[in-house]
Every structure is written in C-alpha cells, then in structure tokens.
Structure 1
C-alpha cells in the first residue's frame, strides 16, 4: 500500500484508480 501512496505523491495524486495501477506497473517495471 505504501508503494501506491508514494507513487501518487510523485505523479501528483491522480484520483483515477486505473491511472494509479498504470503508474505503479510502469514504476515496477522500471525498478525491476
């Protein structure tokens, strides 16, 4: 859950759940 919160802070806190999932996936892939 912490990962999602930090992601929202970095992205700017988008209220879209789908957007969060996409950003989390992209960051996860980049982080490896």
Structure 2
C-alpha cells in the first residue's frame, strides 16, 4: 500500500500541474 502511494503521488502532482497549465493557457487564449 505504501509503495502504491509512493508511485501514485508523483502522478497526481503531475496531473494537477498539467490541469493548472491547461487552465492558465485557456484563460490566456480566452482573453
């Protein structure tokens, strides 16, 4: 279970960063 969390955390952080980047680019293109 601990190993799964260690593998899952970087993926979760990467997904959050990717969503934030897409959100920022969407706002830039909108304005």
TM-score w.r.t. length of structure 2 = 0.54
Matched, 1:23 2:21: yes
Query: Secondary structure of 2:25's partner?
Result: helix
Q: Which has the higher helix share?
A: 2
Structure 1: any 5+ residue segments left out of the alignment?
Answer: 1-14
- Structure 1 residue 21: deviation in Å? 0.3
* Structure with the greater alpha carbon radius of gyration: 2
Aligned residues: 18
Q: Which has the higher contact order (CA 8 A, sep 6+)?
A: 1
